[in-house]
Amino acid sequence: MTPDLFFQYLFAGVTYGAIYAIVAIGFNIIYNTTGIINFAQGEFVMLGGMIAISLHQVMPLPLAITLAVALTMVIGAAIEIIFIRWLQSPSVLRLIIITIGVSILLREAALHIWGESIRSLPYFYGNEISSISLGSVHLSPQVLWVIAACGIMVAGLSLFFKYTPTGREMRACSANRTAAILCGISTRNMVTLSFMLSAGIGAVAGCVMSPITYTQYDSGTGLAIKGFTVAILGGLGNSMAAVAAGILLGIIEAFSVSVVPLAFQDAIAITILLAILFVKPHGLFGSSVAARLKDF
């Protein structure tokens, strides 16, 4: 392998890894406040992309993306309010099955609204053939958008959870729900908020990746599996670890292309997921102690 090819693979891996990481962070936020895995997370990504594509036909791109993210957040909140909020102490299994149901619902709704056609947003800067050269490596400018979006979201979320009162209250709900209730915090509102936040983050991912990966009514499913793998790989609930794990998975997938056929790419993610669940269920960066003192 030439050095050029090596870096080309590396950047491709980092790009996909950043996308997986964003999806995984969406999983983590909801997991932290509710203890459940929201299997409709991939659908939030798809919705963000699809809504932005539709809106872009009548308005400029930045506005379309902003509105798409806002709308997806509203949808996320609505899902929580309609399907989850009113349940009296539901079991984890029941909640997980509800989210699977919701994911099917959203996918079918998307099929009805947008059909089976594959769409995409235009490149944010330049077009398909424009490239930026970093030394001898040629990159699509969109790659930088993806990586920047991931970085900004991670930084923003860290600041939000650490320094804002609302972030602190959300962490309190995840650290000890009963105690949060005893402080007078409305844990139900915090759960709604976490669905909104996850939906918004998913929608941003859906928008920045759309020019590269394209968007279809069912593109959320595969992403959800990858994102879930990454969330587990990093250690559930830990967003920083999710970024590292996402990039790791992305790079492994990118380099695997030079060894095994492209079709096996998805199988690699599943294999890694199974291997982690067998060998290190707390994730690469999570210890059993940290799992007890879990934090965002």
Partner 1 sequence: MLKIRNLDAGYGKLRVLKNISLHVKAGEIVTMIGANGAGKTTLLHTIIGLVRASAGAIEFQQKEHTGSCAQKIVAAGCTLVPEGRQVFASMTVEENLILGGYMLQRREGKDAVLRELQYQYDLFPVLRERREQYAGTLSGGEQQMLAMGRSLMSRPRLVMMDEPSTGLAPLIVREIFKIITRLRDEGNTVLLVEQNATAALGIADRGYVLEVGKVILQGPAADLLANSDVQRAYLGREKIG
Residues at the site binding partner 1, with contacts judged by CB under 8 A: 165, 168-169, 171-172, 175-176, 178-186, 292-295
Torsion of CA 62, 112, 76, 266, to 10 degrees: -80
**27: nearest Cα among 207, 250, 245:** 245
Closer CB to partner 1, 182 or 263, in the complex: 182
Closer CB to partner 1, 17 or 286, in the complex: 286
> Residue 50 has which token pair?
């699809």
Closer CB to partner 1, 140 or 238, in the complex: 238
Residue 133 main-chain phi, psi, to 5 deg: -100, 125
Alpha helices, DSSP H, located in 115-176: 141-163, 165-175
Minimum distance from residue 151 beta carbon to partner 1 (Å): 24
Minimum distance from residue 178 beta carbon to partner 1 (Å): 6
Minimum distance from residue 35 beta carbon to partner 1 (Å): 14
Closer CB to partner 1, 63 or 179, in the complex: 179
Closer CB to partner 1, 138 or 168, in the complex: 168
Minimum distance from residue 170 beta carbon to partner 1 (Å): 11
**31: nearest Cα among 239, 210, 282, 289:** 239
The residue type of 269 is A
Closer CB to partner 1, 47 or 236, in the complex: 236
Minimum distance from residue 182 beta carbon to partner 1 (Å): 5
- Which of the 8 DSSP states describes residue 83? I
**38: nearest Cα among 85, 108, 102:** 102
Residue spans of beta strands (DSSP E) within 91-217? 132-134, 137-139
Minimum distance from residue 88 beta carbon to partner 1 (Å): 10
Q: How far apart are CA 236 and CA 37, in angstroms?
A: 9
Count of alpha carbons within 13 angstroms of residue 112, beta-carbon side: 6
